[in-house]
Amino acid sequence: MLFKAFLIKYGEIGIKGRNRYLFEDALVRQIQFALREAEGKFTVSKEQGRIYVEAEGEYDYEETITALKRVFGIVGICPVVQIEDRGFEDLAEQVIAYIKQVYPDSQQTFKVHARRARKNFPMDSMTINSEIGARILDAFPKMRVDVHHPQINIFIEVRKKIHIYSQIISGSGGMPVGTNGKAMLLLSGGIDSPVAGWMIAKRGVQIEAVYFHAPPYTSERAKQKVIDLASLVAKYAGPIKLHIINFTDIQLYIYDQCPHEELTIIMRRYMMRIAEQIARESGALGLITGESIGQVASQTMQSLYATNEVCTMPVFRPVIGFDKLEIIDLALKINTYETSIQPFEDCCTIFVAKHPVTKPSLKVIQKSEEKLKEKMEEMVERAVSDREIVVCKYT
């Protein structure tokens, strides 16, 4: 194996000063976490504004790249050849050997970018550029220099060791999980909410989740599906604490007391209230849903307005402007789609009225809820205190 190490590139915007060190430490932690999925032993280190992943002995290259591509905060992954400093002649030979192996046809245009981070190396960066460039031209008659639009950029960084690299594999971008607080995801068994959770986690937010379960109307398999989805999102977001709320009594009571066309909205308002209560206990500062304007009756502007009204925390709806197909594309990309489309009922589909209101009036809804209030307070308390908690990790 040519490559024993990877240079990790990360975005620099907004991470100056003290934030930078927090960002880097979180990134190192997330990389270590992700690499547990790859065969091999690795050390992750921080050195002068760079993060390196070094393999100790044999490892699986493809698995390593796949794992690193999942880590939020990584912009690029560069497989590097690290060599000892044995003087310029040796360096030139190693660069030539590198090109032979990585670009066997050796006919591209190129540019050398040297960076002398260790100042006691006897040549400055400009000299390294031109001298190495000349050696490459000698060794590969079909290669040409193009300083404006080269097909390959060859980077040479002189540090304690010398690093040679030219490939930059795109990472997922975003920010390392743990650098931007925590939010509570309302996770159903559908396609949208896992994607919504993934999108907010991508911005560095730690995720907890809440699922409303209505046994026996919703099956154990429906619950398992949500646990599976949380575990899939955990592959990117780290372990997710999933709060499973038994919603049956609350749902039956609403069903019993309220006009059926208002069921969904009232139910959703109670979900939001309960999610917010748990969020507050967990120190989360926002809620996340998979709502998208107009997708279903409960997601019209009027419905969103009525649902949102019970929340005092910000509600993040990252897929709000996406079409279903755009959400599906993301679900496929993050590998939750197959699980989401398994056909187990979630609690909404059973208690759905034939003709739900699409333009609920807040006043009317509030009035219907009035008569629930007294008994509901206690039911909500019980549902919250009896909740089951499952920590979902990717396995």
Q: Can you give the binding site for Mg ion, defined by CB under 5 A?
A: 188, 190
Identify what 191 binds: ligand ATP, Mg ion, none; CB under 5 to 8 Å per kind.
ligand ATP
Q: Which is nearer to Mg ion, 116 or 213 (CB)?
A: 213
197 touches ligand ATP by CB under 6 A: no
- CA 299, 303, 306, 307 dihedral sign is negative
290 makes contact, choosing from ligand ATP, Mg ion, none, with CB < 5 to 8 Å by partner type, with ligand ATP
Report if residue 176 touches ligand ATP, rule: CB under 6 A: no
Q: Is the bond into 216 cis (omega within 30 degrees of 0)?
A: yes
Q: Are 53 and 71 in contact (CB under 8 A)?
A: no
Position of minimal CB gap to ligand ATP: 190
Alpha helices in the chain (DSSP H): 17-35, 61-69, 88-102, 125-139, 192-202, 220-237, 248-257, 263-282, 301-308, 324-333, 337-340, 347-350, 362-370, 373-385
Min dist CB 214 to ligand ATP, Å, is 8
The one-letter amino acid code at 292 reads S
Q: Which two tokens stand for residue 112?
A: 């050398």
Is residue 296 at the binding interface for ligand ATP, with CB under 6 A as the rule?
yes
Which residue has the closest beta carbon to Mg ion?
190
Q: Of 208, 177, 201, 183, give the one whose Cα is nearest residue 286.
A: 183
- In angstroms, what is the minimal distance from the CB of 346 to Mg ion? 5
Contact between 157 and ligand ATP (CB under 6 A)? no
Q: Considering the complex, state which of residue 194 and residue 238 has its C-beta at the smaller distance from ligand ATP.
A: 194
Q: Does 190 bind ligand ATP (CB under 6 A)?
A: yes
The reply to whether 98 sits near ligand ATP by the rule CB under 6 A is no
Residue 185 near residue 207 (C-beta atoms within 8 A): yes
Q: Kindly state whether residue 276 participates in binding ligand ATP, applying the rule CB under 6 A.
A: no
336: contact with ligand ATP by CB under 6 A: no
Q: Which stretch binds ligand ATP (CB under 6 A): 35-43, 68-76, 207-215, 376-384?
A: 207-215
Q: Which does 72 bind (CB under 5 to 8 A by kind): ligand ATP, Mg ion, none?
A: none
Closest alpha carbon to 290 in 182, 187, 205, 174: 187
Assess contact for 176 and 72: CB atoms under 8 A: yes
Closest CB to Mg ion among residues 82, 289: 289
Choices 37-45, 109-117, 161-169, 287-295 (CB under 6 A): range interacting with ligand ATP = 287-295
Q: Least distance in Å: CB of 35 to ligand ATP?
A: 30
Subset of 345-374 contacting ligand ATP (CB under 6 A) = 346-348
**Is residue 208 near ligand ATP by the rule CB under 6 A?**
no
Asked if 188 interacts with ligand ATP (CB under 6 A), we say: yes
345 contacts 219 by C-beta, under 8 angstroms: yes
* Phi, psi (deg, nearest 5) at residue 329: -55, -45
d(CA 73, CA 247): 37
Question: Least distance (Å) from ligand ATP to the CB of residue 351?
Answer: 11
HSE-up of residue 32 (Cα within 13 Å, Cβ side): 10
| Distance from C-alpha of 370 to C-alpha of 374, rounded to nearest angstrom | 8
- Asked if 290 touches ligand ATP (CB under 6 A), the answer is yes
Binding partner of residue 257 among Mg ion, ligand ATP, none, CB cut-off 5 to 8 Å per kind: none
Residue 120 DSSP SS3: coil
* Binding of ligand ATP by 295 (CB under 6 A): yes
Task: Give the whole-angstrom CA distance, residue 178 versus residue 274.
Answer: 24
150 belongs to the binding site for ligand ATP (CB under 6 A): no
The CA distances from residue 305 to 44, 229, 312, 347, 375, in Å, are: 47, 28, 13, 22, 25
Q: Which stretch binds ligand ATP (CB under 6 A): 59-67, 83-91, 96-104, 210-218?
A: 210-218
Query: Residues in the site for ligand ATP, rule: CB under 6 A?
Result: 186-188, 190-193, 210-212, 271, 289-291, 295-296, 298-299, 346-348
